[in-house]
Structure 1
Amino acid sequence: MGAPKKSAVKVTEEVEELPRVRLQAILLADSFTTKFRPITLERPKVLLPLVNVPMINYTLAWLESAGVEEVFVFCCAHSKQVISYLEKSEWLSQSKFSVTTIESHHSVSAGDALRLIYERNVIQGDFVLISGDTVSNMSLTQVLQEHKERRKKDSDAIMTMVIKRSKPNSITHQSRLGTDELFMAIDPDTNQLLYYEDKADSSKGILNIDNSLLLDRPAISLHHDKQDCYIDICSPEVLSLFTDNFDYQHLRRHFVKGLLVDDIMGYKIFTHEIHSSYAARIDNFRSYDTVSKDIIHRWTYPLVPDVMFVGNSANKLERQGMYRAPEISQSRSAVIGPFTVIGFGTKIGDNTKILNSVIGEGCIIGSNVHIEGSYIWDNVTIEDGCKLRHAIVCDGVIMKSGAVLEPGVVLSFKVVIGQEFVVPSYSKVSLLQQPVEEDSDEELEYADSTGGVGGAGYVWSTCEGGHEEEWRHSVAPIPAVKILEAKKMLEDDLELDHDGSILPPSGELKPDSNDSDVDDIEDPREDSYFEKEVEATFLRAVQENIKEDHVILEVNSLKLSYNKLAADCAGAMFHSMMKYALGTPHNSAGSLVQTVEGVLTTWKKLLTSYLADIDEQIEVILKFEEMCLESAKEFAPLFTKILSIMYDKDIIQEDAILSWDDEKRDADESDKIFVKQAQTFIQWLREAPEEDDEEEE
């Protein structure tokens, strides 16, 4: 017999397991600004409807989906309304998602809020800092991991800011969210934030970067093409810093900029850029409009009108981005256009037309009403013959027959507009009189909202700058006069010698070069960003019926910002048109061809403005080949038919088609698929001139 087996001895070591820290978030349910007045004198911003759902629901739904387990909701202005709403909602009854409210009646800034939360001693580790007017679908996994790994190596790395690529609009010197251009300097190797300025020092974009930033770095990246998503991953030290520095009131203007210039404490802020995910904050009426459209266009999926989450109703998605809730009463002669949302129980009368708008619950809309690009909240009555364009109408408003709202109007709660009365552009009307002093921010949001109910409404006066801020922050399209002013500025910029004094969208500054020598950073996503911007511009033109000249001006500004050629614009615009045509309902190849022909005919001037040369026309043909092979294979069998339509419409000239054929002769067989398909048409083009000459002889 062999030696006896040794008995297995289990050795255990006592290892003290550290308790797992729950991922926490601080949600500021107060914006500490006055940009949504007069509405926010009566209701807190986070409870305002965004595509018929209170804003705060989008933020809470995202936090829950992103793995946050405990949220502290800081309530200040109208705190009782926020607390009451949350108590009646399903958020406070979630098993793995804790929502706790913290109330304050004395805080007038984000700094005050964070100081109070620090005193409560509820934050146990790294936390997410966000405001209740933010919409996102990003994952937190990567940014949290980056933040924690940095913290292990460097305890001074106390904050990571989420940013996103968002081209500023050169026409209006603002982003599509209506905010000022944001200038950043970032270390390209570590993503450390070195400089942050939310307003340019000069209209020409000249920045004064401290040479000390380059002392220990081979280069820094300069950007004015980034969007601050206002989603921050913070270490607990952030709260203590607010307590130690009572000058810190504003998160960006005071805290971030204060840390960047403080050489003594040595704390560091880093950035995390998202690319395919969505994140945006609703800071003004223009961003309210933009984010609403993004939700309807499903950029925010799964936070979209037809997907259930807390506080949403069962909307049904129909063709062309149209959403309908149950129990709607609509006349057969009424027309509901694309990208429109109709709320529960709303009634719509004869011959009424609603386009690119959001209609709330329980509204009564009469006959021969025209609503375009507007936001109608709950229980609104609009009598016969009214016209509304790019307006916001709050709960309980009554518009008497024939009343008109010009672009940019905001009607606060329960306002009554008289019969055939015309409300001028950018007017704000409320049952409450305009406060005399507005220098104490949200302190005035505590004003008694029960007075003035006997009147039909007070028209608030504009700011000292007239309509300057109104048009920048309004839901209305940018006025033509501003377009013309920007066109002149753009033309002046094009005439300037680019000697480095003008900052490109992104550039790299190196210590061994002159401060004015800025080299473009090659970004493999550059083409994709440019095409998406052009597509978004084209879709806005379709939905809002923007004139071709204005669209051309906007695309030209993108061309300048991205340093692109006319051929790039032509290819991107053609791609946008064909993608739009493909997305339009069709039941056969023939109907798809008809749709394409209609789109090309309607927007011919826009496309041909970038097709002056043969090379640009060839670029369009090559782009069409690419679409047929990759992103839009449904067009493949229709290639020759659509090419001939473009020839007949004088979009693509004969010389361009023949040159394309010549260039393909030495190409690989895999690159000759469509040139072979079009050979009969091409041969006809080559022979047609000879037949014409014979007839002339």
Structure 2
Amino acid sequence: MSGATLAVGDLRSAIAAHSQRVSSGGKKASAALTWVLKVSPPGSRQRGLPDDAGLIYDEDSLQLLAFSPLHSKRALLVTDELLNRASTGSPIRVRYDLSLPELYICEPSVLRLFGQSFDFDTLQKHLIPHLLKQELQLETIFCHSIKCRIEQLSPFPVLLAYARTCDARRRRRVPQAERQTNSQLYVLTARDPRGYQAVLRDVLERWTFPLAPDSHALEAQEYLKYRGRGVYQSSSVSAGVGGSIGPLAAIEGDASVGDSTEIRESLVGRCCSIGNNCSIVGSLLLAGVTVEDGAVIHDSLIASKCVIKKNARLNRGCLLAPGVVVGEGVTLPPLTRCCLPSAPAMQRLRQQQSDACVEAAAASKKGEDASKTVSLGQDGKGVVFPNPGGGMSPADFEAVSLGASVLPRIRLPLPKFDAEDDDTQSRASDACTALSDFDLASATTSQEQHEDMTFSTEIAAMCMEALEQPQQQQHKILEMKSFRLACNKTDADISELVLLTMLQQLALRATRSKEGWTAYAESHRCRPLLASFLEPSKDALSFFLLWGQTVAFCSKAEIVYTDVEGEEVRAPNPFEGARGFCEVAELLHAADLFDVESSLPRWAKAARTAVSTANGSSSAAASAAESLAAQSLGRLPSPSAVLPFLETPRMQAFLAWLEEEVEEDSD
């Protein structure tokens, strides 16, 4: 693999498949290499311009038949010659949802092929197209596609937006013997600044775990400590007062951050100095960068030893080479690239300009005139590199810059199912009609229900793992929060699912006593796990939802869940009914999982009012409490179904005792 490729995971299944092909090749064409491909939708932030390509392969043998970059095309042609290459009777697959990391499993013959031709530079650009064009194929290429831990981060409204899988969550669904071969893999090749920004975000979101800032240190650096909200910070960092660090930030050792400074979704390297009232968003600052007071840096890459002086502003896509100084008050427009006059890239550019023809010289002069309009200031140091460089079009240049999206550069049109489309000629087209409002609403509701079910399943699985491995609980909490963001959910949504999982485990695995529940909660760190998703306010929605979830749990006769091994567990519910709900409330109070004393009486009062009155109370606060209580009862057949759980003598006495306890504490 290339030096720009980050791969974390288990490749033994791919290597075993490659070895099997090599050993069973016989007199047929030998397997030269296996290309590890990654399932990645077109809108994924991990997808780059080189990934705008179509691949065709034999579905049975996985032999690659065609590889066609679509950067300048609007279609992928499948010819008869291509079909004849497939195995007899074997279907072929045409894929456009694969990204192309530079990760290959190669035979020694690949080195021989590179030695025979000096025109070969890379496998993807030169060797693979060369082998596919050979009429007599003596060396063949095979594919091994993987579904990575993070699959979709695009605005597409599809389930892939939250189908991101972590290795621990997926391992629970397969038997122990199969875990080694089915573990998920993270792989990404950063070919441009945008790719490095994607890698940074994936690392901060822990998709590359166990390769994380708090578990791996490079170049003898100290480990970064996790501070919450996706923030990793060295213990030697000097942080100012009134600042905001995070979410998603890493600050390495011996760095200093001034007062009232905002840093999020960014990396601050070693020995960096950040002044007061600065804003750094979506950027990478390498070692030794100095940012003075009032500077603003958005979606930029700043190399080592650069200086950003007071009140300077770097807009999206800026890239500074080592040693560049941006003067005081200077604003760099988007996509500006700067370097020192002695930089090798600048020297090569000047050499190319001196050897070019008259037309090229005129064009370069025009580029120089345009670059002179951008100044680094009187106290600045460096020159503006003409954009774009390397024969790249302005649109492509923008697509590879930080903060950009590759989606506008995808030229392959999506299929249209429109009866009036001239390009579509089908006898059945007249029967194609638009969905009615009813059908559309029904489809939307069904999709939302499926999304909610998937979200519940994944959160419950992560909670089970957190309970089974309390020492890894902080990692699981961060995974759940990242998953919540991807699914557009809230901490309240997670809190009720976490409580449900805890109730299931307490009911089946803990001794049915106050001491038993307390011991289980302490040994499995239930309270800190649940508290990570609760709001501090005692009458907040999180607490109301917890009691609604508890009532729903006690209203069911059977407990059904999936254990960490992926097996479904069914057992009778020992706390079914109104008496069981009261007992659960008492045990929760004893185990001190959350604030039962204040939240239960308030929720019970609001729930009764919400059921008995249709218009609500005249008080605005009471009306808000009733609406929250009504929302917490959504899992019951009807809101009135909660009344039997609240009107038992034992529950009435318990509520009265809790109210007395609260009054005594307030006195």
- Distance in 2 (alpha carbons) for counterparts of 1:331 and 1:245: 58
Residue 468 (1) aligns with residue 402 (2): no
Cα offset for 1:247?
Answer: 3.6
Question: Which of 128, 132, 142 lines up with 1:270 in the alignment?
Answer: 142
Question: Which of 248, 266, 269 lines up with 2:120 in the alignment?
Answer: 248
Deviation per CA, 1:632-666: give whole Å up to 9, x if none. Answer: 9x99x99xx9xx99xx9xxxxxxxxxxxxxxxxxx
Question: Which of 177, 184, 189 lines up with 1:281 in the alignment?
Answer: 189
Cα offset for 1:372?
Answer: 0.8
Deviation per CA, 1:23-80: give whole Å up to 9, x if none. Answer: xxxxxxxxxxxxxxxxxxxxxxxxxxxxxxxxxxxxxxxxxxxxxxxxxxxxxxxxxx
Residue in 1 that maps onto 2:130: 258
Residue in 1 that maps onto 2:107: 235
Cα offset for 1:435?
Answer: 4.2
SS in structure 2 of the partner of residue 591 of structure 1: coil
Residue in 2 that maps onto 1:555: none
Q: 1:678 to 1:629 in 2, by over 3 A?
A: farther
Question: Which of 160, 180, 185 lines up with 2:56 in the alignment?
Answer: 185
- Distance in 1 (alpha carbons) for counterparts of 2:529 and 2:392: 46
Question: Which of 485, 494, 497 lines up with 1:582 in the alignment?
Answer: 494
Q: Which blocks of at least 5 consecutive residues in structure 1 are unaligned?
A: 1-129, 441-453, 502-526, 536-570, 599-624, 649-672, 685-697
Question: Which of 268, 271, 284 lines up with 1:359 in the alignment?
Answer: 268
Residue in 2 that maps onto 1:677: 636
1:81-230 to 2 correspondence within 5 Å?
130-154=1-25, 156-169=30-43, 176-199=47-70, 202-203=73-74, 210-214=82-86, 216-230=88-102
Cα offset for 1:488?
Answer: 13
Cα offset for 1:379?
Answer: 1.1
The answer (yes or no) to whether the contact 2:287–2:303 under 8 Å persists in 1 is yes
- Distance in 2 (alpha carbons) for counterparts of 1:140 and 1:329: 41
- Distance in 2 (alpha carbons) for counterparts of 1:595 and 1:234: 61
1:477-492 to 2 correspondence within 5 Å?
477-478=404-405
Cα offset for 1:573?
Answer: 9.3
The answer (yes or no) to whether the contact 1:177–1:290 under 8 Å persists in 2 is no
Deviation per CA, 1:198-219: give whole Å up to 9, x if none. Answer: 3356335565573323473421
Q: Which blocks of at least 5 consecutive residues in structure 2 are unaligned?
A: 148-183, 353-378, 427-449, 459-482, 496-527, 543-555, 565-592, 611-631, 644-667
- Distance in 2 (alpha carbons) for counterparts of 1:284 and 1:376: 16
The answer (yes or no) to whether the contact 1:394–1:414 under 8 Å persists in 2 is yes
- Distance in 1 (alpha carbons) for counterparts of 2:24 and 2:280: 57
Question: Which of 531, 535, 545 lines up with 1:591 in the alignment?
Answer: 535
Residue in 2 that maps onto 1:422: 331
- Distance in 1 (alpha carbons) for counterparts of 2:274 and 2:40: 37
Cα offset for 1:253?
Answer: 2.2
Residue in 2 that maps onto 1:327: 236
Cα offset for 1:160?
Answer: 1.1
SS in structure 1 of the partner of residue 399 of structure 2: helix
Q: Percent identity at matched positions? A: 24
Cα offset for 1:470?
Answer: 2.6
Residue in 2 that maps onto 1:122: none
- Distance in 2 (alpha carbons) for counterparts of 1:271 and 1:595: 56
- Distance in 2 (alpha carbons) for counterparts of 1:317 and 1:436: 43
Q: 1:176 to 1:232 in 2, by over 3 A?
A: closer
Residue 459 (1) aligns with residue 384 (2): yes
The answer (yes or no) to whether the contact 2:492–2:541 under 8 Å persists in 1 is no
Question: Which of 187, 200, 215 lines up with 1:292 in the alignment?
Answer: 200
Cα offset for 1:364?
Answer: 1.1
1:324-403 to 2 correspondence within 5 Å?
324-403=233-312
Cα offset for 1:493?
Answer: 8.4
- Distance in 2 (alpha carbons) for counterparts of 1:377 and 1:266: 47
The answer (yes or no) to whether the contact 2:73–2:411 under 8 Å persists in 1 is no
- Distance in 1 (alpha carbons) for counterparts of 2:387 and 2:234: 37
The answer (yes or no) to whether the contact 1:178–1:287 under 8 Å persists in 2 is no
The answer (yes or no) to whether the contact 1:582–1:592 under 8 Å persists in 2 is no
Cα offset for 1:185?
Answer: 1.0
Q: 1:162 to 1:458 in 2, by over 3 A?
A: same
Residue in 2 that maps onto 1:306: 214
AA matched with 2:241: R
Q: 1:590 to 1:459 in 2, by over 3 A?
A: closer
Higher helix share: 2
Highest Rg: 1 or 2? 2
AA matched with 1:401: K
1:637-656 to 2 correspondence within 5 Å?
none
- Distance in 2 (alpha carbons) for counterparts of 1:356 and 1:264: 51
Deviation per CA, 1:127-184: give whole Å up to 9, x if none. Answer: xxx11111111223222222222111115112111111111129xxx86345441211
The answer (yes or no) to whether the contact 1:426–1:467 under 8 Å persists in 2 is no
Residue in 1 that maps onto 2:170: none
The answer (yes or no) to whether the contact 2:46–2:188 under 8 Å persists in 1 is no
Residue in 2 that maps onto 1:620: none
Q: 1:225 to 1:327 in 2, by over 3 A?
A: same
Deviation per CA, 1:254-298: give whole Å up to 9, x if none. Answer: 211111221324211112222321011111111111111111111
Q: 1:573 to 1:340 in 2, by over 3 A?
A: closer
Q: TM-score, normalised by structure 1?
A: 0.52
1:627-642 to 2 correspondence within 5 Å?
none
Residue in 2 that maps onto 1:404: 313
Query: Which structure is higher in RCO with an 8 Å CA cutoff and minimum separation 6?
Result: 1
- Distance in 1 (alpha carbons) for counterparts of 2:93 and 2:425: 14
- Distance in 2 (alpha carbons) for counterparts of 1:253 and 1:363: 38
SS in structure 1 of the partner of residue 317 of structure 2: coil
SS in structure 2 of the partner of residue 131 of structure 1: coil
AA matched with 2:494: L
SS in structure 2 of the partner of residue 143 of structure 1: helix
AA matched with 1:225: D
AA matched with 2:116: D
Q: 1:359 to 1:407 in 2, by over 3 A?
A: same
The answer (yes or no) to whether the contact 2:8–2:186 under 8 Å persists in 1 is yes
Residue 318 (1) aligns with residue 318 (2): no
- Distance in 2 (alpha carbons) for counterparts of 1:466 and 1:201: 12
The answer (yes or no) to whether the contact 1:581–1:595 under 8 Å persists in 2 is no
Q: TM-score, normalised by structure 2?
A: 0.54
Residue in 1 that maps onto 2:366: none
Q: 1:193 to 1:215 in 2, by over 3 A?
A: closer
- Distance in 2 (alpha carbons) for counterparts of 1:595 and 1:438: 68
The answer (yes or no) to whether the contact 1:178–1:284 under 8 Å persists in 2 is no
